[in-house]
Amino acid sequence: MQEISRTFGYQSVAENERTRLIRRVFTSVAPRYDLMNDLMSMGIHRLWKRRLAREAGALPGQTVVDLAGGTGDVAALMARNGAKVTVCDPSLAMMNQGQTRQLSGVQWLAGTGERIPLQDNSVDTMTIAFGIRNVTSLDGALKEALRVLKPGGRFLCLEFSRPWAPVKPFYDLFSFTVIPRLGALVARDPEAYTYLVESIRRFPDQQEMKRIMEQAGFAAVNYRNLSFGIACLHRGVKSF
């Protein structure tokens, strides 16, 4: 956990400096964040997020939280069946972008992964999409998720991971050449997207993330690769 908590891309930084730099990244890219996601993934991120929302299976009457939910795209998908979904995110700039859409069934709450402003045993389902690698303490965020989940509550984490070996050279070429240039052209912040690409490389692979979730206290931990392992859906349950 120390490697992640004290790095910003490939730089070594103090934990509080990492937090400050990541906040700056999302403040900078918020106005064009969703457009950049479409361009970087050629729209495939929408399919991954729909898969996450389907597996979450949010139902009316349940308490559902999308942690690091940003502009609310995943929360909106989960709210379609009548569930009330709360986006919890530390970036006011990102949530402000989402609030302009007036998404039905979506509520907004400022909070970090390491300090979720919710009561113990109060959440039925928690999701997080492409946000957990941006927390300062991965272990702290997982334990906070466990704290707020009800016994039997589910945690679903969609994150970039390690692609299959035949895909990796093409993926690396695209990541390190095309994405920063898109960041410069569209988001006008190449440094932010260089960080986002580098943070993917430092994030634990599929098996290591499974081990970390189990070590944090989750039960029935498993994962499913998406798009040849470029993304991965990790799942765990809070024991009764």
* Residue-wise pLDDT tens digits, 16-42: 888 888 888 888 888 888 888 888 888
pLDDT value for 1 = 44
Tell me: pLDDT of 67 over 90. Answer: yes
Mean pLDDT of 45-71: 96
**Low-confidence winner among 35-44, 84-93, 136-145, 201-210 (lowest mean pLDDT):** 35-44
* Single pTM value for the model: 0.91
Percent of the chain topping pLDDT 70 = 92
Q: Smallest Cα–Cα separation from 21: which of 179, 192, 186, 160? A: 192
Mean pLDDT of 169-179: 86
Considering only residues 143 and 199, tell me which one the structure prediction assigns the higher pLDDT.
Answer: 143
CATH architecture of the domain covering 2-237: 3-Layer(aba) Sandwich (3.40)
Residue 85 to residues 77, 107, 112, 144, Cα–Cα distance (Å): 10, 6, 17, 18
Considering only residues 9 and 229, tell me which one the structure prediction assigns the higher pLDDT.
Answer: 229
Contact partners, residue 16, CB within 8 Å, separation at least 6 = none
By CB neighbour count within 10 A (0-12 exposed, 13-18 middle, 19+ buried), where does 190 fall? Answer: middle
pLDDT confidence tier of residue 223, bands split at 50, 70 and 90: very high
* Residue-wise pLDDT tens digits, 100-125: 999 999 999 999 999 999 999 999 99
pLDDT confidence tier of residue 4, bands split at 50, 70 and 90: low
Tell me: pLDDT of 2 over 50. Answer: no
Domain ranges, ordered by start, for the chain:
2-237
